[in-house]
Structure 1
Amino acid sequence: MKKLIFTIAAICGIQGGSILVAQDIKSSKVPAAVTAALMKKYPVATKITWEKEKGNYEGNWGGKSGEDMSVTFTPAGAFVEQVEAIKTSALPATVTKYLQAHYKGVKVDEAGKATAANGTITYEAIVKHKEVVFDAQGNFLKVE
């Protein structure tokens, strides 16, 4: 998932005229409030790697790559979002249908299920270095 987030930030993250790039950081540089919030919400998380992106802190862990789960917190420790890596076959059928129609013959590099702090669920598919985003029902929302 770290790869997914970094790719999105590096290729598509332009805001206010500057390119936003996720920066790997040492756990010692992560505010205590962020670490405490992550451990409270995800007590089984281990081998967490950290990035700083858009002023927030992103923790990644799990799976062979260490990137099956990604969570983002503000510097004060407020939960922003979690993104769970999923198999492309787990994407809703409407997402698969859309991708086949709009990206014919192109492989989906990565897929994720994102849950925002307010409970909103979206699906993400990385195709041709672009993040294609869908709502919980699999309806197309945007390309980032």
Structure 2
Amino acid sequence: MKKLAFLLAMTTGVVFVSAQKIQQKDVPGLVQKGFQKQFPAVKGAKWEKENGKYEAGFKYKGEDMSVLYNAQGVWEEKETEIKVSQLPAMASSYVAKKQLGKINEASKITKADGSVMYEAEVKSGDVLFDVKGNFVKLAKD
């Protein structure tokens, strides 16, 4: 019975983990080519695969960032870590007003079309805001 419970727990855990770390050699050539074209000086990026897309995390010009590519190597978005104080004032106010807790990390997300969003990481998940700081959604962890 203990073995069955353990196997069931392991299977359930695997189903709910959607992002998985992968080695650079397992990243499709088109994705690697797109990344090298955009960030030729970056070496040693950490890769993850999530929902058929590929995310590279790395440091660039002293900033922590990540970029997301689809399987065809097309860049979709860039996320750059920022100081919590750099979030739009309305975003910080929203988190406080809704009592979502302390903002642990913040980032600026730039989409391929040039649009910008902000992300505030709180205990319950990631709160997304538009460029002006208006609430968009809460993505639960």
| Mapped partners of 1:139, 1:93: distance in 2 | 10
Aligned to 2:95: 99
Give the Å deviation of 1:25.
Answer: 0.2
Q: Which residue of 1 aligns with 2:36?
A: 39
Give the TM-score of the pair, scaled to structure 1.
Answer: 0.79
Match of 2:112 among 117, 124, 127: 117
Stretches of structure 1 that go unaligned for 5 or more consecutive residues are 1-17
Aligned-partner residue type, residue 122 of structure 1: M
Q: 1: distance between equivalents of 2:29 and 2:63?
A: 22
Deviates further, 122-131 or 39-48: 39-48
Supply the AA of the counterpart residue of 1:143: L
Report the equivalent of 1:80.
76
- TM-score using structure 2 length: 0.81
* Local SS of the residue matching 1:76: coil
> How far apart are residue 20 of structure 1 and its match?
5.2
Work out whether 1:71 is the aligned partner of 2:67: yes
Amino acid at match of 1:46: K
Going from structure 1 to structure 2, the CA distance change for 1:68 and 1:129 (only over 3 Å counts) comes to: farther
RMSD of aligned residue pairs (Cα, Å): 1.9
1:23 aligned partner, one-letter code: Q
**Closer/same/farther in 2, CA of residues 83 and 115 from structure 1, 3 Å limit:** same
- Structure 1 consecutive aligned stretches of length 4 or more whose deviation exceeds 4 Å: none
What is the aligned length? 124
Q: Which structure has the greater CA radius of gyration?
A: 2
Cα displacement string for residues 78-103 of structure 1 (whole angstroms, at most 9, x for unaligned residues) = 11111111111111111111111112
Identity value in percent? 40
Deviation at 1:116, TM superposition (A): 1.1
**For residue 59 of structure 1, what is the aligned residue in structure 2?**
56
Whole-angstrom distance in 1 between the partners of 2:41 and 2:102: 33
- Partner amino acid for 1:130? G
- 5+ residue gaps, structure 2: 1-14
Q: For 1:118, what is the secondary structure of its paired residue?
A: coil
Structure 1 residue matching 2:85: 3-state secondary structure: helix
Higher RCO, 1 vs 2 (CA within 8 Å, ≥6 residues apart):
1
The amino acid across from 2:136 in the alignment is L
From 42, 47, 71, the equivalent of 1:50 is 47
